Amino acid sequence: MTTRRHLSLPEDLCATAEQRFGSKFESLESLLEFVLKELTDTKSDTLDQSEQALLEERLRNLGYI
């Protein structure tokens, strides 16, 4: 079993993420796990600059960066 960490996040950011993605993910934790996996996946290193900029803009608009 993988050791887990506990994070502290702003309540309003969590509530917004849950409203937007609650139907697609079983929990806020599963949403964040998905996002972090996508960002750290070795295949993401092969994104071209336009794809990287688009991904960063989407995450910024969601309040993650």
d(CA 46, CA 6): 30
pLDDT (0 to 100) of residue 63: 84
Supply angle C-alpha 17, 14, 2, rounded to 5: 95
CA angle 13/58/65 to nearest 5° reads 50
This prediction has a pTM of: 0.59
pLDDT per position as a tens digit, 18-33: 999 989 999 999 999 9
- Write the CA distances from 11 to 8, 18, 46, integer angstroms: 9, 10, 34
